[in-house]
Amino acid sequence: MWPSRWWGAELDDAHAEAAATAAADALYQYRDTKPSAPAASPLDKLTLVCTKAQAKAVQAGLQRGQAIAAGVTFARNLGNRPANHCTPTYLADQAKKLGREHELKVEVFDRKDLEKLGMGSFLAVSQGSHEPPRFIVARYNGAAKTQAPIVLVGKGITFDTGGISIKPAAEMDEMKFDMCGAASVLGTLRAVAELKPRLNLVVIVPTCENMPDGRAVKPGDVVTSMSGQTIEILNTDAEGRLILCDALTYAERFKPAAVVDVATLTGACVIALGHHNTGLFSPDDALADDLLAASRASLDPAWRMPLDEEYAEGLKSNFADMGNVGPRAAGAVTAAMFLKKFTDKYRWAHLDIAGTAWKSGASKGATGRPVPLLTHFVLAQAR
């Protein structure tokens, strides 16, 4: 439904963008592993009637909408692929392909590289799977090297059983969507690379499976993160924060203007906000305001959540610098507080997309969110 403020309004870039993204959404059809699915109907033409004075803005909106729609489709296709197809290696290969198509610098690190970097937390999650972990770093350089980049970090758990703290069987198939954070930041990279703004963007994706193998990490194990802080793993199903914390430490080397991590992190965020708003956490008011503005402009809503220091009390451990979970109450907040412990060297925000990254039921499938929000946020940083 069009927002009521548009009725009777003159066309502008926002209308044009919304028309382009809505058309792409209506035509989307997943076929990668379902060849029997009908082919999506092609869109021959999209016509917007406007005055000459409006034409430039409308054209810009269509161009932006087309790029965002392509990024959303890219993210949806990755999210919808089953986990035996979309492995960490496949994600890395797709990032490399994106790099070739858009002249991006893409690096992929393997287990030995991660060991050298000291990513003990990330490696702990991956050790129960026969699928090798991958750490993807992709860069779009649209400005001078001296300009600090925006860094996006996406959680890439390509399948999450919960590990030794195994999940219930019901709806576990949907845990293929636990890499939608990774899919969204790669989709955003695709959109940005097409639009070519004057800024620098770095996308980081730690990706692996979380499996209950005989080598898997156990509740009570203590691991050392890349930052040197130790973590008592009280629940192996709180694995997303364990791979993100090492990626957030790695992000320091880019001396970023800001870092935003995106993750299907907590069921608690779904309980708090349902499936409409993405959970937004940040100790930086200006950064939070920028992300909220982007969410409104992109029609990809988010809601800011608290980060009071009192919530960190629940992460205390007798055997390590911190535990990886707190009490049940405010679980989305304590998860964000955990990540915050690894972000003291730059401006940081966290988007919990557990409620918005995919739909269940008859319309089951990845949504591609928050590619629109992230793209608007990144574009707003261009100088």
Q: For the chain, what are the domain ranges?
A: 83-380
Q: Catalytic: which of 64, 81, 155, 241?
A: 241
pLDDT score of 205 more than 50: yes
Active site residue 167: yes
H runs (alpha helix) in 174-239: 180-195
Nearest to 307 by CA among 266, 279, 328: 279
Instruction: Write down the pLDDT at residue 51.
Output: 87
Selected from 3.10.450.50, 3.40.50.1100, 3.40.630.10, 3.30.390.30, the CATH number assigned to the domain covering 83-380 reads 3.40.630.10
The pLDDT tens digits for 67-124 are: 999 999 999 999 999 999 999 999 999 999 999 999 999 999 999 999 999 999 999 9
Active site residue 347: no
Q: How confident is the model at residue 11 (pLDDT cuts 50, 70, 90)?
A: confident
Instruction: Write down the pLDDT at residue 47.
Output: 84
Backbone torsions φ then ψ of 176, nearest 5 degrees: -65, -20
pTM above 0.85, yes or no: yes
Q: What letter would DSSP give residue 39?
A: P
Instruction: Write down the pLDDT at residue 9.
Output: 56
Q: Catalytic: which of 96, 111, 167, 345?
A: 167
User: What does pLDDT average to over the chain?
Assistant: 95
Alpha carbons within 13 A on the beta-carbon side of 82:
7
